[in-house]
Structure 1
Amino acid sequence: MRIKEVIVVEGKDDTVNIKRAVEADTIETNGSAVDESALTQIRHAQAKRGVIIFTDPDYPGERIRHIVSQAIPGCKHAFLPKKEALAKYNKGVGVEHASIEAVQEALKNVYTMTEAYESDITQEDLVIFGLVGGANARARREKLGLRLKIGYTNAKQLYKRLTMFQITRKEFVTAMEAILQEEEA
């Protein structure tokens, strides 16, 4: 599998694992302190070939994703479920720990964020489906992120993430109905 876009990752170990799974070029941010030289490289890559941001499913990874996508609009995003990124014996989480299949699956399901999308999902929908507040809200958001392949997000950011990835109400409701059915089983 050859990836045309340049993949933005956190470090060298991520690059090594991605190159095991696909044929691709990467830019490493070297952690969450994304400097201007890295942003310059990413801007150039975005202009020439496009960029896929593929960071760890943790707070520093989300911070890098936010910094890069704010500085460089139009980047694509690949998400890895946290359970697919766990190191052996739960000693860390990251792209470098994911299986070849998990990396390939994440790169098949990329999204482009947009700010100009009018979502037909409402804040009320989030409350009705128990995604905000309540005992099961976090678990349901995790399941929703997995099912829609948009990554986990907290309650405050969920609506924004659904909107930015242009998730339709139909996709949202279908995913939530499946999650609720699984919970009942």
Structure 2
Amino acid sequence: MLNKQMTNYIANNVNNNEIELNNFEKVYAEKHQLVPQDVTIVDKGFHTSVIERCNKETEEVIRTETDNFLNESASYLKKNLNEFLFVESNTFEIIGVDGIALEFDDVFETYTALFGLKLQKKYGPAIKAFLDTHLQGDNTKYSVMFSGEDGLWDMNFALSYIEGFNDELSFEQVLKMVYLFIFKLSEAVEDDK
């Protein structure tokens, strides 16, 4: 799980005796002694491999964007209801996610994150317990369903229920927030086993 994925990430990404980790990854790696003593930890930026604006109905790519688009505020999705944003990053490998889609749900009027999480089916109760505890608000909305075909948890939750979210945050800030949330979820599931 998280420990194995962090170990693999560190092993495959040490360059010139340095490894890029953000603050919470660094805390986790140090707690579990995953970084060799001769390797220096440097602050990691947010790197993407794919940024696509897509049509909600057809899922066709409207346009492939550059990293500059991530400076746009999340309110972009509310202004462009027919679109969702899909982002892939090699950073997501650590948390067992290939990509994250962000959209504005005009029926429930919430911003939503959707992704597939690579965790075994047996972790369902721990995942749901984490979401129940850490998504704040009345009528908290989330959906979690295991797909035996893919071996993934198909997940989506309303970003509005994550502490600190507002639609004036940039897409980059929102993606970092979602990444941290999934990281903490993975850590909690690992600690629960």
TM tier, shorter chain? under 0.3
Say which structure is richer in helix: 1
TM-score w.r.t. length of structure 1: 0.26
Task: Output the TM-score relative to the length of structure 2.
Answer: 0.26
Higher relative contact order (CA 8 A, sep 6+): 2
Q: Judging by fraction of residues, say which structure has more strand.
A: 2
